[in-house]
Chains A and B, each alone.
Chain A
Amino acid sequence: MTDTADRPPAPSPRTPHYVNPAPWDPYVAEGLSAEQEKYYMAGQWKLMWWRFRRHRPAVVSAAFLALMYFSCLISEWIAPYDLHTRHSKAIFAPPQAIHFFHEGSFLGPFVYAQKVERDLDTLQRVYTEDESKPQKLRFFCSGESYRFWDLIPSSFHLVCPAADGTLFLLGTDRLGRDMFSRIVYAARISLTIGVIGISLSFTLALILGGLAGYYGGWVDMVVQRITEILKSFPHLPLWLALSAALPVTWSPLLVYFGITLILALLDWPSLGRAVRSKLLSLREEDYALAAQMMGAKPGRIIGRHLLPGFMSHLIASATLSIPSMILAETALSFLGLGLRPPITSWGVLLNEATDINVVAVNWWLMLPVVPVILVILAYQFMGDGMRDAADPYA
């Protein structure tokens, strides 16, 4: 090794001295770019929205749910048939596939007529497509008449079968009622039961959890015991007992509200606990004390100063418990203790699929489970996204 190798490399030619001619703003380091400014000035809810938007699955789920709820508003338009229309010639008919090409030429969306025969060995109805009779679908058409929202008589549908044809996109049940229409109508009940139920349970949680957290003492003691008992006891048997206790003489609509109330009664403890523990910690904050010293009443302190501090968390956890409510209603109706026809929910529809024969022969009767799964997954993802967004300063 020679000593030349140890020497530092030759200095590079110097960069020329540079002076920026622009006037210098001494506050440049503290100034904010427009984007930063927007971020710092944004309110809590705006920040949450920005953060929620970044969670792709949650946004997609939210859009999906919005679409589902929108469809509840116009069920009558979407469904080609009414909830109770029976087709005595098409009992247990399988789903009709939609075709576009008839004998090699484009005809637009149509279905083939169904021919029914009896299998003389098994006595089952066997349906075959009659390929000679294409039945073109009609769009924005007038079909079966109905009363829109039970009020306005109309016969407008987004899609109808051909004048003398049938359209069973998802088959028919044992009375020949169109499954697709029934699923569309049932969405009204199944989707609202979760939301109404959670609003009830939310209110209960706010009141009881709020009382326990703010006043403490014996109120707290009693509420705590109740939540412990309710939380530790398996819900389904209690639900069963409670819904078995609903009088048979009640009208289906009353039963609907009864069931929602029952679901809410057993659901509020976990939310109530969250309210209580948050209130307990927030109550000690200086601003709560300040409000108290300025003479604010407890109701105002809780509602105006404490609640907004953790409302976002509450909403997120409430969203996460909607799926269990929908599932619970489905399970109850499935067991025959929940909603009763003519009120139709997805659970009531699934009640027809209790039998193993259904799985083996009439598999399409199980299709109402598809919207159940999709809605529950969507709520789950949306709830996850909301929970992440609920604390935008994290």
Chain B
Amino acid sequence: MLNYVVRRLLLMIPTLFVISLLVYVIIDLPPGDCVTSQIDELLSRGDPDALNRAEELRHLYGLDQPLMARYFNWLFGVLRWDFGLSCQDTVPVRDLIGERLALTMVMESCTIIFIWTVSFVIGVYAATHQYQLGDYVASFIGFIGLAVPNFLLALVLLYVGKVYFGLSIGGLMDPEYIDKPLSWTKFTSISQHLIIPVIVIGTSGTAGMIRRLRANLLDELQKQYVTTGRAKGLPPLRLLIKYPLRHAINPFVADIGHLLPEVISGSVIVSVVLSLPTTGPMLLGALKTQDVNLAATFLLFVAVLTVVGMLVSDLLLAALDPRIRFGATSEK
């Protein structure tokens, strides 16, 4: 088992290296750089000094060096927890992203918990009440969740939440708590603001999860040991929890691998729509202005988060399912 974990951890290094290189090169690909737009603005204002200033800025951001040199500078900086300068306001990337990353992670973990709880309840209900009204309603909700674009759902829920439930909109906390240390009131404010984004990001993942759990549980419910248990007089609920559910639950853990990229993708677009102070809007802005250091740092963090999440899900799965555990140790 230990062997397996170490192997996986070692394998993460080349993966992350490739991803970071790829991302860095892609962001830098289009002609021009982040200074270009700033200088254009200065020029349009009639600043005669603009072109000299451009040279100065390029030197400051290291843009006069070749791409590979910049990449490795940045990469070695990352290893020392120094992510370079952001092009926008000439501030270190580290200062820009701290709280945003934390909030993003909070939001994403809440979403995954939401997906798990909701799809667990609905999935089990739909499977045990197959072909009844509840089952159809659940499948219908599932399909809608799959088909409605996230961002539109966000807009509509935002409106509904504001008009009918009086939830305040936009941001992740009330304005007076920004830049304040964490307190109980700040916490409640944040959790109130989290409701809509979590629901919106969670819907599509929930839809898929419900369908899988329902199918798995239905397969298990038809097996003979369930009939045996029932014939021996086990109460239905105990029977359900004790045997078939334990088999059907595996995808919950195994699916973090699918779920995490999906949730991260969803959170980017939803936070842009709701203008949440998470990584999404800043990443979008950084990509549009070719702020390479900032964007690449965000994407690297996303990659780390995903890869670690996958590892955790595999480990959890191994802990949960002896077949996988023994399979893994005997093979690897």
Contact = CB atoms under 8 A, between A and B. Distances in A.
B30 A229 contact: no
A307 interface: no
A236 B27 contact: no
A238 B306 CA distance: 13
B148 interface: yes
A376 B148 CA distance: 9
Contacts of A294: none
Interface in A349-391: 350, 353-354, 356, 358-360, 366, 369, 372-373, 376-377, 380
A234 B147 contact: no
Interface stretch (B49-57, B220-228, B280-288): B280-288
B287 to A, nearest CB: 4
Interface in A29-63: none
Interface in B236-281: 257, 260-262, 264-266, 268-269, 272-273
Interface stretch (A130-138, A160-168, A285-293, A326-334): A326-334
B10 interface: no
Contact of B155 (A233, A234, A246, A353): A353
A384 to B, nearest CB: 10
Contacts of A244: 27, 30, 287-288, 290
Interface string B139-167: 00001101111111001101100000000
Contact of A241 (B261, B266, B299): B299
A232 B26 contact: no
Contacts of A331: 149-151, 269
Interface stretch (B15-23, B118-126, B320-328): B15-23
A311 interface: no
A27 B238 CA distance: 56
A353 B306 contact: no
Interface residues of B, number: 47
Contacts of B262: 234
A247 interface: yes
Contacts of B60: none
B317 interface: no
Given A240-B283, A335-B284, A337-B287, A350 B306 contact: no
B25 to A, nearest CB: 9
Contacts of A235: 261, 265
A221 interface: no
A240 B19 contact: no
A359 B156 contact: yes
Contact of A372 (B19, B30, B149, B257): B149
Contact of B261 (A234, A247, A249): A234
A234 B302 contact: yes
Interface string B293-329: 0010011001100110010000000000000000000
A117 interface: no
B29 interface: yes
A323 interface: yes
A248 interface: yes
B283 A237 contact: yes
Contacts of B66: none
A354 B148 contact: no
B175 interface: no
A245 B307 contact: no
A329 B59 CA distance: 37
A245 B266 CA distance: 21
Residue among A238, A240, A350, A373 facing the most chain B CB atoms (10 A cut-off): A240
A232 B257 contact: yes
Given A242-B26, A245-B30, A334-B149, A380 B155 contact: no
A233 B19 contact: yes
Please report whether the interface of chain B is mostly helix, strand, loop or mixed according to DSSP.
helix
B302 A229 contact: no
Contacts of A373: 144, 147-148
Contacts of A241: 23, 26-27, 287, 295, 299
Residue among A232, A242, A376 facing the most chain B CB atoms (10 A cut-off): A232
B289 to A, nearest CB: 9
B24 to A, nearest CB: 10
B31 interface: yes
B169 interface: yes
A228 interface: yes
B152 A369 contact: yes
A237 B268 contact: yes
Contact of A233 (B26, B30, B152, B306): B306
A376 B169 contact: no
Contacts of A377: 143, 147
Nearest to B159: A359
Contacts of B169: 356
A358 B152 CA distance: 11
B31 A236 contact: no
Nearest to A360: B159
Contacts of B19: 229, 233
Contacts of A356: 155, 158-159, 169
A240 B287 contact: yes
Contact of A369 (B31, B149, B269): B149
Contacts of B30: 244-248
A4 B27 CA distance: 100
A177 to B, nearest CB: 20
Contacts of A337: 284, 287-288
B264 A234 contact: yes
The 5 nearest A-B residue pairs measured at CB: A236-B265, A234-B261, A234-B264, A244-B287, A376-B147
Interface of B: 15, 18-19, 23, 26-27, 29-31, 143-144, 146-152, 155-156, 158-159, 169, 257, 260-262, 264-266, 268-269, 272-273, 283-284, 287-288, 290, 295, 298-299, 302-303, 306-307, 310
Given A232-B310, A331-B149, 11 more contacts: A234-B262, A234-B302, A237-B264, A241-B23, A242-B26, A245-B30, A337-B284, A337-B288, A350-B149, A354-B151, A354-B155
10 contacts: A233-B19, A235-B265, A237-B264, A240-B287, A241-B27, A331-B149, A331-B269, A354-B155, A356-B169, A369-B152
